[in-house]
Amino acid sequence: MENNRKTIIAGNWKMNKTTTEAVELIDALIPAVADAQCEVVICTPFTALATAVEKTRGTNIHVGAQNVHFEQSGAFTGEISAEMLVDLGVEYVITGHSERRQYFAETDETVNKRTLAALNAGLKVLVCVGENLEQREQGVTEELVRLQTKIALQGVTKEQLPQVVIAYEPVWAIGTGKTATSDQAQEVCGCIRQLLGELYGEDTAQTVTIQYGGSMNPANAEELLGKPDVDGGLIGGASLKADAFASIVAAASR
């Protein structure tokens, strides 16, 4: 079924690329994705954001951060506020990435607080949800992903929802080379859309971009993106090489 949702391919560089390396990658990316028929986003480390914003000005590449604190300012050593990101010219931010949940004590509640703070500051948010291997084997994937999504969106209004993208990232598929099958991705992305329908109404749910992430690469992107409820990708490893990332963007543009 045709839809008019925005397809978004976003690179999550994670803790990779010095500013010097970021310049090299962006220089290679600009011509490689210039003809994209989808939205292209790069989420760089904090240290490369200012450079990325500067380098991509006037191009079709949008810049995002990988995390944001929920307070506006104050004694939060090492943290970065939404206002600081906006001030730099950053447009997107990722919240709730599984690596932050796993290694930095992120909870559904803090994901919600970060998401609200980012939206209230005018950022677009890529909210990550997804089950780990044990949860998949226990057969609780749908309940878990529904719960994560519902809590992440507490207090997010219908008016703010167009600024929200949901990224379904099964933890067992991240960085493992073990991609979810396109049917598995569709099943969970469809279930997220159903939940959005319950929360915001079916018409609104049909407009939300839902991405898949987890070992997406040039070889599997087209098949995954061909599924009706998979509207884009959040790309880790393959976003660090211009040619691989551009191939995924090309697959999303077809």
Q: Is 215 annotated as a binding residue?
A: yes
Angle in degrees, CA 81, 86, 87, rounded to 5: 95
Which helix (H) or strand (E) element contains residue 224? helix 221-225
| Nearest CB to ligand 13P, comparing residues 78 and 177 | 177
| Nearest CB to ligand 13P, comparing residues 213 and 227 | 213
Bridge partners, 43 (sequence order): 12, 64
CB-based burial of residue 253 (10 Å sphere; 0-12 exposed, 13-18 middle, 19+ buried)?
middle
41-80 footprint of ligand 13P as x/- string (CB under 6 A) = ----------------------------------------
Round to whole Å and give the CA distance between 118 and 86: 9
To ligand 13P, the closest distance from the beta carbon of 149 in angstroms equals 16
| Residue of 39, 131, 169, 231 that binds ligand 13P (CB under 6 A) | 169
112-151 footprint of ligand 13P as x/- string (CB under 6 A) = ----------------------------------------
Is 69 an active-site residue? no
Is 62 an active-site residue? no
User: Does 232 engage in binding with ligand 13P (CB under 6 A)?
Assistant: no
To ligand 13P, the closest distance from the beta carbon of 236 in angstroms equals 2
Q: Which of 39, 62, 97, 99 is catalytic?
A: 97
Q: Buried (b) or exposed (e) across 123-158, using 16+ Cβ within 10 A?
A: bbbbbbbbbbeebbeeeebbebbbebbbbbbeebee
Round to whole Å and give the CA distance between 149 and 45: 25
Q: Looking at residues 212 to 231 of the shown chain, list those that interact with ligand 13P (rule: CB under 6 A).
A: 213-216
Round to whole Å and give the CA distance between 182 and 139: 18
What lies within 8 Å, CB to CB, of 216 at 6+ separation is 179, 224, 233, 234, 235, 238, 248
Q: Which residues are annotated as a binding site for substrate?
A: 12-14, 175, 215, 236-237
**Annotated catalytic sites, by residue?**
97, 169
Judged by the rule CB under 6 A, the positions of this chain that interact with ligand 13P are 12, 97, 169, 174-175, 213-216, 234-238
